Amino acid sequence: MVKLFTDADFPAHPYPGARPGHSFVHFDGAGHSLDTAPEGWRERQAVLAYGSNACPSKITWLRENMGLAGPVVVCHARCTDLAAVWASGLRFRDGQRPATLAAAPGVVEEHAVWFATPDQLAVLDKCEGNGMRYNLVRLTAPAITLDDGTVLDDVVAYVGAADIRLPILVDGRHIRVADLEQRRAAALEGIPAETHGLDCTLVEAGTLVKEASRD
C-alpha cells in the first residue's frame, strides 16, 4: 500500500483548501494510490468536486462531522466548457466565499471527481444543502476526462440553487476561483447571476441515492 500524502499536506483553510493534482484514495487521514481503491469503484456515481470537496482535510471533516464512511475514491480530471467561479454569497459560519459552477465555453480546468457510494452521496447531499443552497444536476454537455483517457458520460455536480450560491457577477462577468484568492474574493461586490448557464438536468433530491441503493 502506497501512502501518497497526509491531510496535513493539504489544509482546508483558506477555502477551497489545497488539493493534490492527481488521483488518490482517501482513508485514515491520508491519500493512497489508486490501486488501493475498492473493487468495482468505477461503477459508483461520478460526482464533480470543484470546490472544497477535493481537499483531503475537508474529506476528513466530512468523516468527523457528517458521518462520511469508507474509502473515498477521487480521480483527477480535465474539464472543458465549465469553470469553478465565486458564488454571490458568503458562508455564514466563517465569512468565506464558496465556489459554484458555471458554464464557460472554451475554458479548460482541472478538477476532481469523486466515485461515491450511495451512503457517501447522502453525506454530500446533506453537506451541500441539496435542494436548498445547491441543486444536484446531471451534466449533459461538458467533457470530463480522467487522466487515463476515460471520458465520463454520467457525471453529477452541485450547482447554485439559492441566489447566494449562484455565481457573482462583477461588471457583468464571472470571477473564476483560479483567478482570485479567497482573501480578495471575500471582498468582492457584485450581483447574483440569473443562472449558472450549464446544460444539465435536475436530479430530484434524494432520488439518486435511492436508485443507487437499489442497484
Cβ-count burial of 207 within 10 angstroms (0-12 exposed, 13-18 middle, 19+ buried)? exposed
The residue-averaged pLDDT of 12-28 equals 98
Is 44 within 8 Å of 116 (Cβ atoms)?
yes
Any residues with CB less than 8 A from the CB of 195 and at least 6 apart, and which?
A: 166
pTM of the model: 0.95
**Domain ranges for the chain:** 3-214
Report the distance separating Cα 11 and Cα 17, nearest Å: 6
- Whether the per-residue pLDDT at 146 is higher than 70: the answer is yes
Strand partners, 170: 173
Task: Tell me what pLDDT residue 2 has.
Answer: 80
- pLDDT score of 142: 78
Counting residues of the chain whose pLDDT is more than 90, the rounded percentage is 92
pLDDT digits (tens, 9 = 90+) for 41-76: 999 999 999 999 999 999 999 999 999 999 999 999
**pLDDT surpassing 70 at residue 215:** no
Q: Is 210 a residue whose pLDDT tops 70?
A: no
Q: What is the pLDDT of residues 153-196, one digit of tens each?
A: 999 999 999 999 999 999 999 999 999 999 999 999 999 999 99
| Fold of the domain spanning 3-214 | Hypothetical upf0131 protein ytfp (3.10.490)
Q: Are 200 and 138 in contact (CB under 8 A)?
A: yes
**Are 17 and 57 a contacting pair, CB within 8 Å?**
yes
CA distance 215 to 211: 7
- Give the model's pLDDT for residue 141: 84
For residue 209, what pLDDT is reported? 62
pLDDT, mean of residues 9-16? 98
pLDDT tens figures, 74-93: 999 999 999 999 999 999 99
